[in-house]
Amino acid sequence: MTYAYSTIKKVGRTFLPVRTRARILNAAAAVKEWREEREWARLGHRMCSALRSVPDVEHLPQCVLHFNNGLNAFGQYRLIFRDLIYHFEAERPNPLILDCGSNIGVSMLYFKHVYPGARIIGFEPDPAIFPCLQKNVRDNGLADVELIQAALTPSPGVLTFYSDGLSGSCLGQNLPKDLPEGWVKYDVPCVRLRDYITEPVDFLKMNIEGAEWEALADCDERLEAVRQMVIEYHHWKGLPRTLHQILELLHRRGFTYSINHFDYDVNPALRPPFRLTADTRYYLMIFAKRLEE
């Protein structure tokens, strides 16, 4: 379809009136988009099957993806590979990326797909998820990747950690009041993110389930070595409200930023008309970049 679309554009530029050309190109683009959406729908149906809620593997165009739950894996794959929520423009062929909250490694697979020479340090504390992450790094032959099975906190040590074994988790001190049933309690090691910012960092991705402010505040002045970042901010019942602190820190350290809410399927609480209650739960993506003066 890509070849046919490019052929239509070439023929149109040569032989057709401007208005006719525009109509044909718009129609061709609509068909191309429809076909792509159909393929995504087919993949979603296949991966989200009830039979794929156990450890499984999917051979995708860009990678081999091991996963422990098809619904969670497809959601990540679609957001990262289709919606490009973690895309960034690197200034060198071997960017250094800190992947905080790697989960099963879909973000790492994307980074290596776009920048094969990237150097990645990934942090994932969940004992139920870490083996799947290791498989994805190993079976895709990802070089220059360091995996650290630890949570990110202002002080090293061991802390209580709760997880649903899929995509939801939190440290004991960030335990939400509406914690779902079935979450498992672990004791996990903790490290400081600042100890890994010892040279220029091209991209910092952070999705650490409500612990983002503490980890970033501990880095403070070292954030000046980071060029770009994407932070997922969690607004949960029972968590402290730290969005204003995160934004103030970014501003003080020289970042320009924008805020996105994914979409209304992910964040139905943010659909207009706007309503906020003590129980409102939502997520925000903060994209921050250091701009040259």
pLDDT in tens, 39-79: 989 999 999 886 777 889 999 999 999 999 999 999 999 99
List, edge to edge, every strand of the sheet that includes 282-290: 145-148, 119-123, 96-100, 201-206, 226-235, 282-290, 255-260
**Helix/strand/coil for 24:** helix
Instruction: Report whether pLDDT(216) > 60.
Output: yes
21 three-state secondary structure: helix
Please state, rounded to an integer, the average pLDDT across all residues of the chain.
89
| Whether the Cβ atoms of residue 28 and residue 4 lie closer than 8 Å to each other | yes
Q: Would you call 204 helix, strand, or coil by DSSP?
A: strand
Token reading at 246? 């995160």
pLDDT digits (tens, 9 = 90+) for 3-40: 555 655 555 555 567 777 677 767 767 777 788 889 98
Measured distance CA(54)–CA(49) in Å, rounded: 10
pLDDT classification of 80: cutoffs 50, 70, 90? very high
Task: Indicate the SS3 state at residue 44.
Answer: helix
Pull the structure tokens for residue 77.
Answer: 């794959």
Q: Are 28 and 8 in contact (CB under 8 A)?
A: yes
Could you tell me which residues are beta bridge partners of residue 119?
96
Residues 41 and 11 sit within 8 Å (Cβ to Cβ)? no
pLDDT in tens, 225-284: 999 999 999 998 878 899 999 999 999 999 999 999 988 888 899 999 988 888 888 999
Are 215 and 156 contacting, i.e. CB atoms less than 8 angstroms apart?
A: no
Cα torsion through 218, 220, 223, 225, rounded to 10: -100
- As separate numbers, helices (DSSP H) first and strands (DSSP E) second, the chain gives 7, 13
Distance, CA of 47 to CA of 50 (rounded, Å):
9
User: pTM higher than 0.75, yes or no?
Assistant: yes
DSSP 86: T
